[in-house]
Structure 1
């Protein structure tokens, strides 16, 4: 063996015994253009060599933050942030390599999640999103808000919890806003205009998904109410595997019959909709976010759970509790949208959402009965939805005084002979109707047969009656798939559908 071969062998042996030096790496969320939550302890985290010393220089303070990576190479630290302002900062993370994060702002951070009506972009896109929002061209043209930062999580499903997502922070501009969540953008824009601090919006949503897909496996397994969900997943997986086996069996037969010429084959491989399965979106699109310190969540989902509306009463609050436990930020604000009227929906899911708005602490619900589309499950008026969500945040989270944030919500009923008098919350300034006659009220006696009712506003209440019901016991309002109610408070916010019975 010559000298050079001996030297090469020695180097290979030595190299095998030396530990590899890993460079400091950051998750996608910790990057250029991000917004960090103001007046908080916010998490910065990532990966490095085991036990590596890491020096973090924050642009808003003089003293560096010095930490040591864990033995497994992970690291996380909480740093203090100042009051939000429009000044852009750099953050330098220095170890075996140096990373400089540029154009970092301090302000308010919100998560925007749900299914297709949250995913629905501001502008047109190929495929599903052919319309864009109302006046989308004008909205895109005017979307010059460099102090609003947006981050879209790439859709992905996983059977196991992941620690990172794909995406990047962008300044809000006509180019970037076109494909961003419309509800998220209009919510954030209104907050920015009212609060005058930078706004960070993280959109993590996927069309056609159920709440159980956004809930952890542990939470679903520990609650016996949710076992039917997991059993149904197992059943669907078995059916898929059977279809797959049949496909490959037929494919084999075609190969033999056609002497391996499959150019004329009509066989289609069965597709598996991974995003429909329980906990897979929690694993891939939510778990990687929980280190990121934020203010609250806006949520638009429910259409895909309409057939299991009664179960949604417990599933949705369990999902919210799951998120709050994992974020470890207490009962942070959780504001959501009651799904709009549509021919494919039912009133039970809206009732489940109404019940949840009362059972979930620090939550709020936006009613959309006046901005739906009977023939389109994706109504294009997302401006109103985003604005109403922002009312909840401005009033309940940011304590804007004298701001009414909800339409009338049924509270109780009193029977007076042949009339039912209905009392509402959020009707302090009075009730109004849009049109000549109040619509969508029904009344029933003990026979449980409902008849269209005459309804009149009396002060802050509605009085309901029918000649066909001499002794009323129950009233329903907007209780169908496509209601057209016209009851509002004087702030022009619509009343939520409801029923006084539980039949």
Structure 2
């Protein structure tokens, strides 16, 4: 009886210990560093942590709020390992490289079409069948928009197989695949992305104080909704009808109808901080190597603030993770829409690309150019299917900027200009400029009146000489300055040049 009592007492002592969903079986932990591990228990409870790759046992006591946190030293890549925390046993754990993957629909877009019509990559069936990569593991954070900062988010680690890869982020998966094949270590992806989300949705409310117009607009919309009984009633009725229609479609093997939009601003992925609160904060402080980001389409209505928004987002995440200026690699917006016929068509998409180019001034960032990535057969589709190219280019950025590989990782980047009579000489960061065709396209030139015309462009070393018989005193040049421009400037490695502008 006494022994039974002691066993029950011991079990109860450990019963309160629990972990965030991002710490679990099959996870990848960052190699060769001190990783953060945390959870909750009864206040004052002692939690012991034993990792099978280490001889040491750690001990930490839960605080008054029940939260506990510890640092656990990792070794070089390998596995499988186990971690025991009191009575909790985590298995099939690997040490390798961990990357956070975020953004909107082009990051959220999955390898297979499944039940979302806009998903699915080129050669989908072949890619799915070949996805046997047990050392690639993915944690996908559930869509959780909210006004309150969450401690946890639903999700679980999954091993990459033909069955699981179907619902993996395509851009993130191809990035991990190419990186894993080169580094020969396990790759862990933490994906937290959602379609149509704005950059401000992924930034904390505290850090958005320098954007009062965004916060004020949200407060106004929230106040209107909170006093509207009609809006909530209509949504409830529409949701009930949708659930019936969705079930019928699923049973018939058809695409599900689109779910009605929740009118609550708190549940809208366009609004400030709502995705940071529910889908970023719960992942902190899981130790990462860096982040990849693909977003911007939903900010084209206010492109003038995008550069500062992204400066704020990157600083926000780096501050909260407390890992210094970790690498932040992002994808510049792809070409989109019907091919543009005018030499210059300045739209929100174009200005977002310029802001992204200027964001390269932020330390330890890298940018993938995707100005050639539109679907050739359907350029008006804002979700390019060639995510293989995006994943490859992201991996080149990581290999060069993060892992020290001496490889080409970026296309030509404009540096400066020089006016030479009736011509303008453009200087770039490399001297292996090439055109995909016999004639360079995509260059426009103008004088002080900014009346742009198509320009003749000739490669000379690491420069391009631009001119037009119609412009006698040129002062400014644009390249690729449209939503879907005719561009063909690359380097010899086949990486495209970013669109850019010059000014006098």
TM-score range, shorter chain: 0.7 to 0.9
Q: Residue 472 of structure 1 corresponds to which residue in structure 2?
A: 474
Q: Residue 49 of structure 2 corresponds to which residue in structure 1?
A: 56
Q: TM-score, normalised by structure 2?
A: 0.87
Q: Does 1:89 align with 2:81?
A: yes
Q: Residue 8 of structure 1 corresponds to which residue in structure 2?
A: none
Q: Does 1:291 align with 2:247?
A: no
Separation in 2, partners of 1:127, 1:242: 34
Does the Cα contact within 8 Å between 2:135 and 2:160 map onto a contact in 1? yes
Q: Point out the more displaced range, 337-346 or 185-194.
A: 337-346
Which one of 16, 38, 44 corresponds to residue 31 of structure 2? 38
Q: Residue 421 of structure 1 corresponds to which residue in structure 2?
A: 425
CA drift at 1:246: 6.9
SS of aligned partner of 2:301 = helix
Separation in 2, partners of 1:161, 1:270: 20
CA drift at 1:245: 4.1
CA drift at 1:446: 1.5
Kindly report which structure 2 residues correspond to 1:10-409, keeping only aligned pairs within 5 A, or say none. 23-85=16-78, 87-94=79-86, 98-129=87-118, 131-221=119-209, 223=210, 226-241=211-226, 244-245=229-230, 271-272=263-264, 273-343=267-337, 346-358=349-361, 360-373=362-375, 374-401=379-406, 403-409=407-413
CA drift at 1:247: 7.5
CA distance 1:128–1:278, change in 2 (3 Å): farther
Separation in 2, partners of 1:295, 1:21: 32
SS of aligned partner of 1:388 = helix
The Cα offsets for residues 184-225 of structure 1, whole Å up to 9 and x where unpaired, read as 00001111111111110011000000000000000111x1xx
CA drift at 1:158: 1.1
Separation in 2, partners of 1:59, 1:107: 15
Give the number of aligned pairs. Answer: 456
Kindly report which structure 2 residues correspond to 1:488-499, keeping only aligned pairs within 5 A, or say none. 488-499=490-501
Q: Point out the more displaced range, 174-183 or 120-129.
A: 120-129
Kindly report which structure 2 residues correspond to 1:448-487, keeping only aligned pairs within 5 A, or say none. 448-487=450-489
The Cα offsets for residues 290-326 of structure 1, whole Å up to 9 and x where unpaired, read as 1100100000000001111110111111110000000
Unaligned runs of 5+ in 1: 1-18, 252-267
From the CA coordinates, give the structure whose radius of gyration is larger.
Answer: 1
Separation in 2, partners of 1:209, 1:171: 27
Separation in 2, partners of 1:208, 1:404: 32
Does the Cα contact within 8 Å between 2:262 and 2:268 map onto a contact in 1? no
Does the Cα contact within 8 Å between 1:244 and 1:269 map onto a contact in 2? no
The Cα offsets for residues 216-250 of structure 1, whole Å up to 9 and x where unpaired, read as 000111x1xx111112223333454576547869x
SS of aligned partner of 2:381 = coil
CA drift at 1:21: 7.8
Does the Cα contact within 8 Å between 1:122 and 1:182 map onto a contact in 2? yes
Q: TM-score, normalised by structure 1?
A: 0.87
Q: Residue 444 of structure 1 corresponds to which residue in structure 2?
A: 446
Does the Cα contact within 8 Å between 1:32 and 1:102 map onto a contact in 2? yes
Does the Cα contact within 8 Å between 2:303 and 2:348 map onto a contact in 1? no
Unaligned runs of 5+ in 2: 1-11, 237-259, 338-346
Q: CA RMSD in A?
A: 2.0
Q: Point out the more displaced range, 343-352 or 373-382.
A: 343-352
